[in-house]
Amino acid sequence: MKSDGLKIQSERPEGPLTDLERSEFYLREGERLAHMGSWSLRADGIFDYWSPETFLLFGFDPSEGIPTLPKWLTVLHPDDRALLAKTIEKMFRENVRGDVTYRVDHPKQGKRIMHSTGEPVLENDKVTRLIGNTLDITEQENATRELKKAFEEIKALKDELYKENIVLRQEIGSTSMFEEVLGTSAALQNVLALAAKVAPTDSTVLIAGETGTGKELIARAIHTRSKRGERSFVGVNCAAIPSSLIMSELFGHEKGAFTGAVQRRLGRFELAEGGTLFLDEVGDLPMETQIALLRVLQEREFERVGGGELLQCNVRVIAATNRDLHSAIAAGSFRSDLYYRLNVFPIALPPLRERKEDIPILVNYFVDRYAKRAGKKIESIRKKSLDALQEYSWPGNVRELQNVIERSLIIVDTNEFSVDKNWLSHEFQSSRRMRSASGKSTEREQIEAALARSRGKVSGRQGAAAILGIPASTLESKIRALRINKHAYKGA
């Protein structure tokens, strides 16, 4: 604290010091350094001693003498004067020690905070005076208040982060398909066990599975449990980006690399640096991009489109596909060397029809979730509807199940959940038609016959799926399960 300008003699006296002079000198220096003054107050309300530092603390001129008690009270904050007066009165009356903190309107230093401690002095069993000291604690009090304020802000921030974390968890629960890993089936638990084992490593993972089985969710789970979990998880749907733009999307481009490239743009590999890049539907990458991706996996380096600088890359790649890459390799649309680079650790997600024991769990979860959203109270699920849901083959997997339940809850008018079978009838009929055939042919024979008629084409109006009356994704799954080479029927 800067001095208010009053010149108080505190230098060491010249010449040899007596013991008393030495003690007084040390006392004055100690008070000056500590910003603490000492005083003595008589029972008649007269101060009969103020140390030099006391004058500085309260802004009085020592040349005018020690102020009276009423005059001293005038520099105190108006709201604190009564407190000081009562404290002094009590110390004289009850012979008790006094400790009090109060505010002072200093004439030169502005508002200050003081703490005074007083001790009664007895003479003939009567308190005749108070002696004590006063300490300027303004800086300490301000620091304490700032610290308290900081703690309060930290607590508020912690509470806000906790609330945001809850909201984030709810948002993740509603947008990241967490429901797709609900279940206790052996097929699902095996997938989760594999994901847990590969997560701590840095190995490339290839996740295979039909649409709606939760491939991205498994990829995110692997990333979260890896040593890269604190870094970025960047996803890109290779099937959703035009082939002319996919190179730029993955590797970025330099300004002027092509029409419309008005500035440099970072690609997904650069954005995922140190983290994980998720390549969804990797089987749809054009051949040129496959070559560039293979180089990244092998050399850990790439170039931006239109650039010549080699950029180093530290990214873990997790790929996913709903296509049969073996068939794509046989057809010449996917590179075998890239496949083996991606397929270091394969994980195959089972379709919902292969873990039907999980359907009741999923149905209960979805019914509860969407009923709350719709403000409806569902007390039971109709057994016939649950049986129908378990019989259906679910070409759209858990995502389709989610949609069917949400749709059903929109129209249900009772507290019992039910499903309109007409929404499932096409698949019922087609799947039964393939399974029946009155024993005249096996499912494999029916599929092979349809492929022969369609010349290996699965989808489309003239495709094998249309001939059999089932969704193309369902037929693709059956072809993989039965290990049928559909490409062998091309040109047949």
Q: Is the confidence at residue 205, as pLDDT, over 70? A: yes
Q: Which CATH architecture has domain 353-423?
A: Orthogonal Bundle (1.10)
Q: 151 versus 293: which is more confidently predicted? A: 293
**Angle at alpha carbon of residue 284, lines to 392 and 171, rounded to 5°:** 60
Predicted local confidence at residue 436, as pLDDT: 45
pLDDT category of residue 344 using cuts at 50, 70 and 90: very high
Predicted local confidence at residue 23, as pLDDT: 64
Contact (CB, 8 A) for 252 and 267: yes
Q: List the chain domain ranges.
A: 19-136, 178-350, 353-423, 427-489
Rounded to a whole number of angstroms, the CA Rg of the chain reads 42
Q: 442 versus 85: which is more confidently predicted? A: 85
Q: Is the confidence at residue 489, as pLDDT, over 90? A: no
pLDDT category of residue 345 using cuts at 50, 70 and 90: very high
Reading phi first (left if > 0) and then psi (alpha if -120 to 50, else beta), residue 438 is in: left
Strand order in the sheet with 233-237: 233-237, 276-280, 316-321, 205-208, 345-348
Q: Which residues pair with 346 in a beta bridge?
A: 206
- In which element (H, E) is residue 282 found? none
Predicted local confidence at residue 167, as pLDDT: 44
Per-residue model confidence as pLDDT tens digits over 349-401: 999 989 999 999 999 989 998 898 888 888 888 888 888 898 888 888 888 89
Strand ranges in 3-125 using DSSP code E only, listed in sequence order: 36-42, 47-50, 98-106, 110-123
- In which element (H, E) is residue 411 found? helix 397-411
CB proximity list for 288: less than 8 A, separation 6 or greater: 247
* pTM greater than 0.95 (yes/no): no
Contact (CB, 8 A) for 476 and 324: yes
CB proximity list for 363: less than 8 A, separation 6 or greater: 381, 386, 389, 401, 405
Predicted local confidence at residue 429, as pLDDT: 44
Contact (CB, 8 A) for 415 and 379: yes
Does residue 344 sit in helix, strand or coil?
coil
Return the CATH number of the domain spanning residue range 19-136. Answer: 3.30.450.20
Q: 423 versus 268: which is more confidently predicted? A: 268
| Phi, psi for residue 377 in degrees, rounded to 5 | -110, 110
pLDDT category of residue 16 using cuts at 50, 70 and 90: low
Minimum mean pLDDT among 157-171, 240-254, 298-312: which range? 157-171
In the predicted model, what is the mean pLDDT of residues 122-142? Answer: 89
Please tell me the distance from the alpha carbon of residue 347 to that of residue 360, in angstroms, as a whole number. 25
pLDDT category of residue 159 using cuts at 50, 70 and 90: low
Nearest C-alpha neighbor of 475 from the set 187, 281, 210, 215: 210
Please tell me the distance from the alpha carbon of residue 394 to that of residue 216, in angstroms, as a whole number. 19
pLDDT category of residue 340 using cuts at 50, 70 and 90: very high
Per-residue model confidence as pLDDT tens digits over 431-459: 444 544 444 456 788 888 888 888 888 88
- In which element (H, E) is residue 191 found? helix 186-198
Minimum mean pLDDT among 11-25, 145-159, 242-256: which range? 11-25
Please tell me the distance from the alpha carbon of residue 479 to that of residue 474, in angstroms, as a whole number. 9
Minimum mean pLDDT among 68-77, 96-105, 255-264, 315-324: which range? 255-264
Tell me the range of 51-65, 331-345, 376-390 where mean pLDDT is highest. 331-345
Predicted local confidence at residue 173, as pLDDT: 41
Minimum mean pLDDT among 54-63, 179-188, 200-209: which range? 179-188
Contact (CB, 8 A) for 34 and 135: yes
In a 13 Å sphere around the CA of 35, the CA atoms on its Cβ side amount to 17
Minimum mean pLDDT among 110-124, 317-331, 467-481: which range? 467-481
Predicted local confidence at residue 309, as pLDDT: 80
How far is residue 308 from each of residues 128, 256, 403, measured CA to CA in Å? 94, 13, 48
What mean pLDDT, rounded, does the chain reach?
Answer: 82
In the predicted model, what is the mean pLDDT of residues 92-103? Answer: 91
Q: What percent of the chain has pLDDT over 70?
A: 84
Return the CATH number of the domain spanning residue range 178-350. Answer: 3.40.50.300
